[in-house]
Structure 1
C-alpha cells in the first residue's frame, strides 16, 4: 500500500507541474520581445531540453541513456530500466534592437519546458513534453496612417502577445541493439492576442483580436549505431494545417463615454500551414572524453505557398554543431563528472523580404553539474549569444543574450532495497 501511495504521489506531482506550467504560459507577459514575432505564428522556438541548449541545439543522433533527448523520439528506447527522468527549465533573455534611427532593449523571463521519460518494457520507452513552439511579444508605437478619403493622418499603437505550445507524446523502440525507431504525436495549441488603439479628434478607438490555433502533428525518428562510438540519426515532421478561429471586439470612447461597436464577434481566419521538416545528424565519441554532434535540418516552407504583407515564406536551412567534454562520467572526484559544452547554430531564415531572408546565428556554452555520485541527475546551465536580421530599410538588427537553467533529474522506480 505504501508503494502504491508513493506511486500515486509522483503522478499527482507531475500532473500539478504540468498544470502550473500551462497556467504560467497562458498568463505570461511574453516569452519574447522580438519585433520579428509580428509575422506568422511568431518566432519559432529552438530552445530544447537539458543539455542540448549548450550544444548549439544539436543532438538528433546523440545516443543518450542518462537523460532526455527530445530532438529524436527514437532515443526514448534507451531509457534505462527503473529510471524515470524529469526535466524542468526556465529561460531569461536580454534583447537589444537597432535600426537606422533608434535602439531599444528588453528583458523577458519565463518557463522554457517541462518533460519526463520512462521505460515501458524491454527496448520500449516513452516520454511526454510541453514546450513553446512559437512566441509572440511585440509592441509598435506611433504608427502613422492616412484617414481614408482625406489627407489627414493619425497615429496608432499595436501590440501582440501569445504563441503556440507543443504538447508531445513520444515512443521509442529498439529493433536491435544498434537500430532504434520512434514516433511522435504533437498537439499544437495556443492563441495570439493583438491590440490596436488610436485617437482621432476627440475619439478613442481600441481593437482587440484573439486568434486561436490548433492541430495534431505527427513525426518519426531513427537512430543507428554504426560503431560503439559513431551514431547517425534522422527525423521527419509531417506537414500540417493549423485551424484558426478569431474573436474580435471593438470599443470607442467619445467625450468620456464608452461605446461598444462590436463585442466578441467570432470569425474564421485563414488556416496556417506548417511545412514538412527533415533532420539529419551524426554523433561521435572522440578520445574517450569528447562527444561531437552535427545536425542539418531542412524545412520546406516554399511548399506551403504562404506570404506575409512584407514578404514570402521560403525554404529554411538550419546547421548545428555541439561538443561536450566530461573527464569521467562515473569518476570518484566531483570535478571529473562535470560536463562542459559549446556549440554553434546557423539558421538562414524562412521569411524573405525583397528576396533577402532574415537569417540568424547562436553561439552557445553550457555546463552540467551532477547532483550525486550514483544518480544521472544534473543541473544544466546554458548561455547563448545570438543575432538576427540586419539594419536595412524596414528591417531591425536583433542581438540577444539568454540563460537557460534546466533541472534534469533522475528518479529510480521499482528498485529493490538492499538489506544489510
Structure 2
C-alpha cells in the first residue's frame, strides 16, 4: 500500500496548483460564451483510442465515463491515476490568426473494489475552461479618423469532483452511478485606456449520471461488451459581480444571479476483444442547445458524436521484451454538427489520435498524440489543435487481505 499512499498524496499536493492554473487549459476566443469550452478527451488510458469509453472495461481501466465499467477492475488491487496534457492551438477567424501553447493536469482519480460486487472511484477533473485575450480597434463615434482600442480577456472555468459507484448485479451485468459536484469561477474583462470593466461569475451545482454494461465471453478468445450511459440535465446558478475601475477608483456591484442548463446526454457503445485485438465504438448525443449566450450572434445546438478505436496488446510475459509488453492504440472521432453556431454558421469537429501504453514501476503509463480540427462554415472559425496526453495508472496489490 505504500506506493499508492505516496502516489495519492503527491496527486493531492498538486490540486491547489491545478486550480490556480486552470486558465491555461484553453486559449479559444469562443470560450467567452456559455460556461466556457467543454473539456473532453484530455485524460484516461483510452485517449489514444479516440476516447472510446461506453463499452470499455479492463483490469486497470478507471472508466468513470461509464461508471459500470469499474466492475471490470482487478479485485485484488487499489488504483491511483493522474493525467496531464499539453497542446498547441491555432485559430483563424475572418483572416485573423492566433496561436497559443497550453497545458495542465487533467484528472486525478482513485479506484478499487470496496466489498464483493461493489466498486468505487473518486476523482477531480475540469468540466469547462475559459481562457482568451484579443484586441479590437474601432473608430471613435463623432470623430472621423480617430480610433480607440479595447482589449478583452477571460480566465477560469468549472471543475468537477465526482464519487463513482459500480455494482456487479450478475456475472455479466453491472450498473453504475456518478455523483458529482461542479464548481468554479470565471472572470471576463474589457479594458479601454484607463478604464476597465470586469465581471466575475461564481457558481456550483450537483450532477448525476448513470451507466450499464453487459459483458460476456463468447469463446476462449472472444469477449463482447455492450454499454449505455445517461446524464441528467443540471442547472448551475452563478453569482455575478461587476467591478468598474476608472483611473484610481474602483467600485464593485453585485448583479442579478444568472443560470445555465448544463447539457443532458445519452449514449451507447460496444467493444470486442478478439485474441490480441480490441475494437470499440461509441455514439453520444449531448443536448448543448440548453446552453445560452449573452451574445445574440452565438447560439448552441445539440451535438451527435461518433468515436471508434482499436488497440493491439501482445500481452507478453514479464520477461518478454518491452515491445511485447506495450499496447498500441489508434482512434478517430467525429462530431456533427459542432455544438456552437456563430452568426448562424455551424460546422464539423473531428479528431484523430494514436497512443502507446507500457509498464512502469507498479503500473502503466499511457501516452497519446492527437490532432483536433474544427471548421465553421463561412470562414467564421478554423481551429487546429495538436496535442499530447499522458496518464499514469498506479496499482497496489492487497498482500494481507482480500476484500
1:185–1:218 CA contact under 8 A, matched in 2:
yes
Q: CA deviation at 1:370?
A: 1.0
Q: Secondary structure at the match of 1:17?
A: helix
Provide the residue aligned with 2:360 in structure 1: 371
CA distance in 2, matches of 1:108, 1:49: 15
Q: Secondary structure at the match of 1:51?
A: coil
Of residues 81, 89, 93, the one that matches 2:87 is 93
Query: Tell me, which stretches of 5 or more residues in structure 1 are unaligned?
Result: 1-5
Change (3 A) 1:300 1:100: closer
Q: Which residue in 1 is equivalent to 2:382?
A: 397
2:279 paired residue number: 292
Aligned pairs for 1:45-194 (under 5 A) are 45-144=39-138, 154-194=148-188
Over 3 Å counting, the alpha-carbon distance change for 1:321 and 1:220 in structure 2 is same
Asked if 1:384 corresponds to 2:370, the answer is yes
CA contact (8 A) 2:187 2:198 kept: yes
The one-character-per-residue Cα deviations of 1:130-174 (angstroms, maximum 9, x if unpaired) are: 111111111121243765x88776321000111111111100010
C-alpha displacement of 1:266: 2.1
CA offset digits 1:360-397 (Å, max 9, x no partner): 1110010001125xx5x11111100111134735x221
**Does residue 216 of structure 1 match 2:206?**
yes
Does the CA-based 8 Å contact 1:48-1:70 persist in structure 2? no
Helix, strand or coil at the partner of 2:70? helix
Q: Matched residues in 1 for 2:347 and 2:195: separation?
A: 34
Residue pairs, 1:355-366, within 5 angstroms: 355-366=344-355
Counterpart in 2 of 1:337?
A: 325
Q: Distance in 1 between matches of 2:374 and 2:213?
A: 32
Going from structure 1 to structure 2, the CA distance change for 1:145 and 1:180 (only over 3 Å counts) comes to farther
For residues 21 and 140 of structure 1, the distance between their equivalents in structure 2, rounded to whole angstroms, comes to 29
CA deviation string 1:295-335 (max 9, x = no partner): 00001233567774213221111111110101125464132
Q: Normalization by structure 2: what TM-score?
A: 0.91
Q: Rate the CA distance shift 1:343–1:178 in 2: closer, same or farther, 3 A.
A: same
Give the C-alpha shift of residue 413 in structure 1. Answer: 2.8
SS at match of 2:112: strand
Normalising to structure 1: TM-score of the pair? 0.87
What are the superposed Cα offsets for residues 260-279 of structure 1, whole Å, 9 maximum, x if unpaired?
Answer: 2x13x222332011121001
Tell me how far apart the structure 2 counterparts of residues 400 and 251 of structure 1 sit (CA, whole Å).
36
1:272-287 matches, within 5 Å, as 272-286=260-274
Structure 2 contact 7–80 (Cα < 8 Å) conserved: no
User: How many Å separate the matches in 2 of 1:196 and 1:233?
Assistant: 46
Match of 1:207?
A: 197
Q: Distance in 1 between matches of 2:228 and 2:316?
A: 27
Q: Distance in 2 between matches of 1:61 and 1:367?
A: 20
Rate the CA distance shift 1:303–1:207 in 2: closer, same or farther, 3 A.
Answer: closer
Counterparts of 1:145 and 1:323, CA distance in 2: 55
Q: What are the ranges of 5 or more consecutive residues in structure 2 without an aligned counterpart?
A: none
